[in-house]
Amino acid sequence: MEKINRTIKAAIEVALKRGKSVLLLGPRQVGKTTLLTELPVDLMISLVRPAIRQQYERNIESFSQEIEALAERFAKKPLIAVDEIQKVPEIIDASQDLIDRKIAQFIRA
């Protein structure tokens, strides 16, 4: 399979190096998930998987607790990718809280 060179990847990498978090928007089937797998994330959370999605739907606080525990093990803010974030809208607020408290950096798609 031919690898597609996405011009947006460089811009995302620059933003991440500056300590920023990124919200990646776009229509279905344009390669957002593939792009996430090409970035140096410390944790990838895919809300496509029903068990993962249901865990956070039942207990949104477990999302924050998981990220806070991960951050304690890192010397830097961990970079977390959350794919299909729209499936659990409360994660948008939870991740924003973690960003505001400088606990983690996110790529949300």
Pseudo-torsion of CA 12, 3, 47, 75, nearest 10°?
-50
For residue 43, the enclosing domain spans 8-108
pLDDT the model gives residue 4: 67
How many independent structural domains does the chain possess? Answer: 1
Residue 3 lies in a domain: no
Residue 1 lies in a domain: no
pLDDT the model gives residue 79: 97
Domain of residue 48, CATH code:
3.40.50.300
Q: Give the H/E segment covering residue 1.
A: none
* Per-residue model confidence as pLDDT tens for the chain (109 residues): 566 677 888 999 999 999 999 999 888 887 788 889 999 999 999 999 999 999 999 999 999 999 999 999 988 899 999 999 999 999 999 999 999 999 999 999 9
Residue 2 lies in a domain: no
pLDDT the model gives residue 2: 62
Residue 85 lies in a domain: yes
pLDDT the model gives residue 40: 92
Q: Give the H/E segment covering residue 8.
A: helix 8-17
Q: pTM of the full predicted structure?
A: 0.89
Residue 45 lies in a domain: yes
pLDDT the model gives residue 103: 97
Nearest-angstrom CA–CA distance, 37 and 30: 14
Q: Give the H/E segment covering residue 64.
A: helix 61-73
